[in-house]
Amino acid sequence: MSRFISILSLFICLISFYSYANIDSIPLPDDTDIKMKLDGEYPMILNGFVKMPDTDVLAFYHTQLGAPDKIIEDIGRYTFFYRINENKVKISIYQQNQWTEISVMITQ
């Protein structure tokens, strides 16, 4: 019986580990210059810049993650909302001159 409980405990720990969000699992365009990354606990946040038009970044996320559950456009800033591994993922994209800012937030 104690062996069964030990195996069951190990199984639950492994499931918890794999369902835990990882900011590194969110794809980024090549050459993204990461300026901030907070990934120790929720909310997990990543902010960076890439030298490509916002339309290309929007297309990148459509290709990599599929159609978002919701899209908000406000004064040129696009925000995509996804649900990935039971976590809420918000990706904001904003064109600034030749650079496009990408902000990612993962919450439970």
Mean pLDDT (the chain) is: 86
Q: What is the pLDDT of residues 11-30, one digit of tens each?
A: 444 344 344 568 999 999 99
Inside any domain, residue 14: no
Inside any domain, residue 16: no
Task: Enter the pTM of the model.
Answer: 0.80
Inside any domain, residue 15: no
Residues in the chain: 108
In the predicted model, what is the mean pLDDT of residues 86-105?
96
Inside any domain, residue 68: yes
Inside any domain, residue 7: no
Inside any domain, residue 6: no
| Amino acid (1-letter code) at residue 83 | R
Inside any domain, residue 62: yes
Best CA proximity match to 102, nearest among 56, 57, 63, 66: 57
Tally of domains in the chain: 1
What domain range is 52 assigned to?
Answer: 23-107
Residue indicated by tokens 């990935």:
84
In the predicted model, what is the mean pLDDT of residues 31-53?
96
Q: What is the pLDDT of residues 54-87, one digit of tens each?
A: 999 999 999 999 999 999 999 999 999 999 988 9
CATH of the domain at 42: 3.30.160
Q: Is the pLDDT of residue 106 over 60?
A: yes
Inside any domain, residue 2: no
